[in-house]
Structure 1
Amino acid sequence: MLLARTARLLQHSTRTAACLQRLQRRPPVVTTVQRSFAKKKKKGKGKQPVEAAPATDDAVDIFAELFDAPLIAGLDKTITQLETTLKTMRGGDVNAELFDACAVEAYGDRQPLATVAHVAVASPTLVRISCFDPQLAPAVAKAVADIEGLSLNPNVSGGDVVVPIPRPSKEQRGALAKAAGAAAEEAKKRARNHRRDAHDRLKKASGGVSEDDVRAKKSAIDEMVDEASKKITKL
């Protein structure tokens, strides 16, 4: 029953399909899956054979792929996206990461700035961008000027682009703090969505699993999301 429901739930996932095929090839694992979350095993009476460890490990690995792996991947992506967003926000200190999101029109395509030039912070108020191909300097200057929220006025000097960095005003710092807070709240919202999706997957695949085991797995999911939310708050 659990195997069938899980297959219907994740039928479009090639990774999950491979897991299900492994279960189908090893019927004894199905029984183990139904109690895969339990921490204790009942002791057998007399000389009853003990359940094989490899089958249990296999089932645990499969459940980790079906539930833990998608949740962890989603939370990691959410945190990484927030870190990237915050790096592009200038609160005072100047760093090369301000230009990470900059894309340059080069060779008939949009290229990340880092692939066509080197960014160096010359001083707290000046950044120098050295183009690997001097002919790209005007395109690099335009891309820098178009960076949203920075209002920069770059100048072309030979094969370099010189970027004066004005110190942010009090109003600008306040706006950046507000934008950073909004980005963090959006990341927390995505984390909660990942929690909801994990709970839904667990609910649809919980046939034959004890209520205690389902609650234990649900609690583990909540702990992972709570830890991710704490990390988001600290960024």
Structure 2
Amino acid sequence: MKLADVESQMQKTIEATLRSLNTIRTGRANASLLDRISVEYYGADTPLKSLANISTPDSTTLAIQPFDRSSLGSIEKAIQLSDLGLTPNNDGSVIRLNIPQLTTERRKELVKVAAKYGEEGKVAIRNIRRDAVEGIRKQEKSSEISEDEARDLQDEVQKLTDKFVSKIDALLKDKEADIMKV
């Protein structure tokens, strides 16, 4: 069990948590809102960002310009079926999404969603810690490392866990502030 591997896995968890948090609406247009949307394109589910150019002409509008105009209807349908709660406006060549201002109630709901994503990230980090500690104990049992080395390694793994959990807390705090900002 290498600490560098443990740290690398935890860093990937932080990145995944950040991607999840970026999909939450904050009242401003952001292309990452559409990251989770898949469009049925010629019988296959295809990520929206590989079918269209997504831009933000202003702070409250997303513009989606498909590379293939025949996919406009499919893209519009996928957005309507998504959990975004946005209504697409199709003008025949570009789909526009107007991002409405969030109500206080909706902001509180989104903070709860963000907290759920943060908790999922923390659980993933704790699972990495658990696996690392189990690996260290196995090495100790098979006499590959001494009892003192095992204890030191477990302490290091715990320090890494604390460091990455606090990073998730910081990401969560920033996202909550972003959501609640009017």
TM bracket, shorter-chain basis: 0.7 to 0.9
Which ranges in structure 2 are unaligned for 5 or more consecutive residues? 172-182
Aligned to 1:125: 60
Alignment of 1:1-235 (within 5 A): 66-148=1-83, 150-206=84-140, 207-208=142-143, 209-235=145-171
String of CA shifts for 1:141-187, please: whole Å, max 9, x gaps.
Answer: 11122221x21110211121111221111111010011101211121
How large is the Cα RMSD of the aligned pairs?
Answer: 1.5
Dislocated runs of 4+, deviation >4 Å: none
Distance 2:133 2:76 in 1: 48
Displacement of 1:87: 0.7
Distance 1:147 1:87 in 2: 16
Q: Is contact 2:39-2:46 (8 Å) kept? A: yes
Aligned residues of 2:60 and 2:100 also touching (Cα < 8 A)? yes
8 A contact 1:125–1:165 mirrored in 2: yes
Q: Which amino acid aligns with 1:109?
A: A
Aligned counterparts of 1:226 and 1:135: Cα–Cα separation in 2? 50
Q: Do the aligned partners of residues 197 and 185 (structure 1) sit closer, same or farther apart at CA in structure 2, a change above 3 Å counting?
A: same
Return the TM-score normalized by structure 2.
0.86
Q: CA deviation at 1:114?
A: 1.1
The amino acid of 2:78's aligned partner reads: A
Give the deviation of 1:93 after TM superposition.
Answer: 2.2
Gaps of 5+ in 1: 1-65
Question: 1:94 & 1:163 partners in 2: Cα distance?
Answer: 9
Do the aligned partners of 1:118 and 1:130 also contact (CA within 8 Å) in 2?
A: yes
Residue 28 of structure 1 corresponds to which residue in structure 2?
none
What displacement does 1:69 show?
A: 4.7
2:39 and 2:45 in contact (8 A); partners too: yes
CA distance in 1, matches of 2:4, 2:82: 35
Distance 1:234 1:146 in 2: 32
> 1:62-89: per-residue Cα shift (whole Å, max 9, x none)?
xxxx333542343123212211111110
Separation in structure 1 between the aligned mates of residue 162 and residue 85 of structure 2, nearest angstrom: 37
Could you state the TM-score of these two structures normalised by the residue count of structure 1? 0.68
What SS does the corresponding residue of 1:205 show, helix, strand or coil?
helix
* Structure with more relative contact order (C-alpha pairs < 8 Å, separation 6 or more): 2
Return the letter of the residue paired with 2:40. Answer: E
Aligned pairs, number: 169
Separation in 2, partners of 1:193, 1:126:
40
State the alpha-carbon separation in 1 of the partners of residues 90 and 27 from structure 2. 24
Q: Which amino acid aligns with 1:83?
A: L
Equivalent-residue separation in structure 2 for 1:197 and 1:79 (angstroms): 17
Structure whose CA Rg is larger = 1
Which position in structure 1 is the counterpart of 2:178?
none
